[in-house]
Structure formats: C-alpha cells, structure tokens
C-alpha cells in the first residue's frame, strides 16, 4: 500500500488519541498525538514560571525546548529535554497551559514543521485540532471526531480518577467547555472540521465501536482491509 496520512481532528475529550492509536495499529502505521506536543510546550512554560499568554516570553523559550516522540509497545511517549513527560502533560493544569500557548503564532509555527516532518517519514494517523485544515491539508482521509460535552466530560473524569487525580465531574466539564471556546475562537488555526472531513459522532459508542466507524471511513477511501 502506498504511503498515506489520516487526519483526525476534534474537541478535547472526544477520544481522538485512543481511537487514532488503535486505528494506526490496525493499519500498521505510525500514530502521532500532536496534542501531546502542545501539552509538552505548555508544561515547559509552566515549569519556567512564564505566563502562558505572555507572547514574547513564551517565544523566547521556544529555541531551548527539546521535544521528541518515541513509540513502544504501550504507545507514544513524549520526551521533554530527555524526560518522559507522558503522564505529567495530562493534568487539567497542563491542559489549560496547552490551550493558551497553542493560540500563540510563534508556538504554532515552531511545531508545524515538526509535525509535517513526522508525516513525511511514512504512513501516519495524526490527531489534533487543525490536522486536516492546516498541518496536513492534503491528507487522504480526514475525520472530525466528536461527542457531546457531557459524554466527553464523563470519559475524561473517569480517566483522571483512574489515575488517582482528585477532580470533580463539574471541574472537568468546565475545563472542557473552556477548551472548546478557546480552541474554536482562536485567531490562528481554530478548531473546525475540514470541508472534506467526515464527521464521526461517538456519543454513546464504546472504543471498539468508535474505532470501527473510523476504520470504515478509511476503508471507503481505499485504506485498510476490506
């Protein structure tokens, strides 16, 4: 099969990472979680005690940020200056920092080339918020994965509680609603479905059913097993 790219966009908590990871496994290609890259930048900014909305200060930090992805049996790991921060970037606070720094043009420009370089290395399933519209506008398959805010909040709440984090459902839902507003109204690369994307609503679906819907779209485009 020739090299291809599948772009999966959608709001926070829609299950993009889990679905994209499994779709990539079934297709035998590389999975790239771009949201994790922005979270790592946000984490670095937080650790440097720099306000995430201070454009000049954040831009000044970018040249010193060393990011890399490593893939193993348990999935993608994100390394920041050699440290595995795969868990540290998943807290609600890291989510807020990521959403704020991702609005800065310097940050998006810095990470755009990195994401495209990953895609040039082979067939990929890449998820994020502007993959089909900005990062990989020529992707062979574009999917906009979504779910109701209550469904997304429940999933994220269960995930965080399972990791031992002391959060409330209301707190998680407020965070998601704030992320939705921030991502969809930012001036640069706002969250939206690409014109040629297929919308997949996973409300009420489990992971297997969500993956099946995505794989069906890929098969209809000529990718995956018939």
Which tens digits make up the pLDDT trace of 191-220?
Answer: 999 999 999 999 999 999 999 999 999 999
pLDDT at 37 exceeding the cut of 60: yes
Share of the chain above pLDDT 70, in %: 99
Is 148 contained in some domain?
yes
Is 203 contained in some domain?
yes
Residue 43 banded pLDDT, cuts 50, 70, 90: very high
Is 22 contained in some domain?
yes
Is 76 contained in some domain?
yes
DSSP 66-103: -EEEEEETTEEEEEETTEE-TTGGGSHHHHHHHHHHTT
pLDDT digits (tens, 9 = 90+) for 112-135: 988 898 888 889 999 988 999 999
pLDDT at 59 exceeding the cut of 70: yes
- Mean pLDDT, the chain, integer: 91
Contact (CB, 8 A) for 152 and 11: yes
pLDDT at 226 exceeding the cut of 60: no
Domain that holds residue 209: 5-220
pLDDT of residue 225: 62
pLDDT at 54 exceeding the cut of 90: yes
pLDDT at 58 exceeding the cut of 80: yes
Give the Cα separation of 167 and 202 in Å (integer): 24
Give the Cα separation of 200 and 149 in Å (integer): 15
pLDDT of residue 163: 87
pLDDT of residue 26: 92
Is 23 contained in some domain?
yes
Contact (CB, 8 A) for 97 and 45: yes
User: At 173, which CATH number?
Assistant: 3.40.50.300
Give the Cα separation of 35 and 10 in Å (integer): 11
Is 17 contained in some domain?
yes
Is 226 contained in some domain?
no
Is 131 contained in some domain?
yes
pLDDT digits (tens, 9 = 90+) for 69-126: 887 777 788 999 999 999 999 888 888 899 899 889 999 999 998 889 888 888 999 9
Query: How many domains is the chain built from?
Result: 1
Instruction: For 78, list phi and psi in degrees, rounded to 5.
Output: -105, 130
CB < 8 Å & 24+ apart, contacts of 85-88: 85/40, 85/43, 86/36, 87/163, 88/43
């Amino acid at each position: 099969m020739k090299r291809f790219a599948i772009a999966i966009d959608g709001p926070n908590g829609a299950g993009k990472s889990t679905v994209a990871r499994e779709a990539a496994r079934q297709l035998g290609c590389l999975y790239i979680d771009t949201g994790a890259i922005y979270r790592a930048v946000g984490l670095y900014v937080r650790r440097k005690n720099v306000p995430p909305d201070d454009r000049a200060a954040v831009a000044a930090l970018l040249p010193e940020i060393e990011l890399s992805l490593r893939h193993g049996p348990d999935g993608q790991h994100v390394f920041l200056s050699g440290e595995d921060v795969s868990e540290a970037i998943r807290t609600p606070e890291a989510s807020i920092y990521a959403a704020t720094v991702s609005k800065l043009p310097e940050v998006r420009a810095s990470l755009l080339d990195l994401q495209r370089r990953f895609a040039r290395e082979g067939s990929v399933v890449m998820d994020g918020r502007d993959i089909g519209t900005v990062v990989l506008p020529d992707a062979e398959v574009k999917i906009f994965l979504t779910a109701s805010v209550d469904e997304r909040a429940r999933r994220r709440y269960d995930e965080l509680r399972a990791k031992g984090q002391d959060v409330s459902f209301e707190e998680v839902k407020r965070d998601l609603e704030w992320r939705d507003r921030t991502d969809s109204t930012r001036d640069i690369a706002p969250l939206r479905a690409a014109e040629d994307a297929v919308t997949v609503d996973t409300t009420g679906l489990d992971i297997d059913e969500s993956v099946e819907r995505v794989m069906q779209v890929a098969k209809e485009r000529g990718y995956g097993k018939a």
